[in-house]
Amino acid sequence: MAYDAAALRRASQRLNAQKKSRQDALERRRRELFARCPELGDIDRQLRGAMLDVVTSCLRAGSDPGPALAVIRDGNMDLQQRQAQLLRDLGYPPDALREVPVCKLCGDAGWIKGEMCQCLRTLYIDEAVRGIGRDVDVESQTFDAFSLDWYSPLPAPDRGISPRENMESVREMCRMYAVRFGRFPVKNLFLTGDPGLGKTYLSACIARTVAEEGFWAVYDTAIRIFSKFEEQKFSRDVQEEREAKDETRRYLACDLLILDDLGSEMTTPFVQSALYTLVDGRLRQGKATVISSNLTLEGLAQRYTGQIASRIRGEYRTLEFFGEDVRLQRKKQL
């Protein structure tokens, strides 16, 4: 499993900000309590002074200060009991003057022996979902909210199945692919069909669910993806080139790439080359990809190279969308 470095950085910043906020609140509380009860300040200074002396001595000697600190704590029980009583009298718990970690597992560090702790993981997943893509609202789109009511229950001519039955099957396949990502027997999906039938919506649902499982999912349109490959190669602006390189690295390195609306871009020899690099590179790395397009497999073969069409035909499970344009149906009801 790969980590989205940008999402991890934002999650770590949030974790540190939360910790600093608690530390600031503790310091304000300490000043307030010491002002209300000077004896609390005296006791605190005595306890802290004794512990600081022990830590300093042990560090100079190169020994572990833990056992000595335990002795100091045990030897100052009267002071600690007096401190606890004074705090209770003021309406505070006995640990009101100590920094108590929210996470008992990692002590708010975010990591345990090199492994991400659940406290940081929760923030990371939230940031990963937010950072999936610029052109899709993944936070409001879910499999459960995907309605089949827009698809006719009547059998479609020459298909032997209704659009509704087909979409129920497609939705379930997309759901299982996302929920069991990394364990599902199908690694890549090709979503094909006319515009307005739900390809983008279900792609967003897949991206969100996969990200919520802790995987690195990236969603972007074909136009934007290929523009970043072009900027990386041809841009004369150093900053623009650097940003484009970062983006193309994301496309190649993420656990799941969702390439939306393939075929909407202007197809040039460079785009053909970039698409081959993307498709072939991710296949060679064993990375999962979902491609959505208004083109059929036959249309792909006509528009792109035979190598690209062959890889998609052989390595992707094709899910066909058919029926009436949902967007137009909704527009008619307005």
Mean pLDDT of 190-205: 92
pLDDT of residue 60: 57
pLDDT at 300 over 60: yes
- Taking the CA of residue 214 as centre, how many other CA atoms within 13 Å lie in the half-sphere pointing to its CB? 9
Name the token pair of 28.
């304000």
**Residue at token pair 């949902």:** 326
Say if residues 291 and 191 touch (Cβ distance below 8 Å): yes
pLDDT tens track for 10-27: 999 999 999 999 999 999
**Residue at token pair 């335990």:** 70
Helix (H) or strand (E) segment spanning residue 185? none
Higher pLDDT, 230 or 72: 230
pLDDT of residue 326: 82
Please, which residues have CB within 8 angstroms of residue 232's CB and are 6 or more apart in sequence?
Answer: 241, 244, 245, 247, 248
Going from the C-alpha of 323 to that of each of 20, 159, 189, the distances in angstroms are: 54, 11, 20
Q: Which CATH superfamily is domain 132-333 in?
A: P-loop containing nucleotide triphosphate hydrolases (3.40.50.300)
Going from the C-alpha of 322 to that of each of 127, 155, 176, 192, 257, the distances in angstroms are: 34, 11, 20, 9, 24
Burial track 265-283 (b if 16+ CB lie within 10 A, e otherwise): beeeeebbebbeebbeebb
Mean pLDDT of 184-196: 93
CA distance 16 to 219: 28
Q: Which of 19-33, 51-65, 112-126 has the lowest mean pLDDT?
A: 51-65
Specify the domain boundaries for CATH 3.40.50.300 within the chain.
132-333
Angle (CA) 93 97 99, round 5°: 105
Return mean pLDDT, the chain: 85
pLDDT tens track for 66-93: 555 555 555 577 777 888 889 899 999 9
CA distance 181 to 279: 19
Higher pLDDT, 64 or 110: 110
pLDDT of residue 229: 87
pTM of the full structure:
0.77
Higher pLDDT, 153 or 62: 153
Mean pLDDT of 29-55: 80
CA distance 163 to 195: 14
List strand residue ranges (DSSP E) for 160-312, in order.
189-193, 217-221, 256-262, 288-293
Name the token pair of 243.
């940003």
Name the token pair of 58.
């042990």
Say if residues 30 and 97 touch (Cβ distance below 8 Å): yes
pLDDT at 243 over 90: no
Higher pLDDT, 233 or 287: 287
What residue spans of 113-152 are helical by DSSP H?
A: 118-130
pLDDT of residue 97: 84
Torsion of CA 74, 75, 79, 84, to 10 degrees: 10
pLDDT at 137 over 70: no
pLDDT of residue 134: 64
CA distance 323 to 330: 14
pLDDT at 275 over 60: yes
pLDDT of residue 206: 94
pLDDT of residue 315: 94
Say if residues 293 and 190 touch (Cβ distance below 8 Å): yes
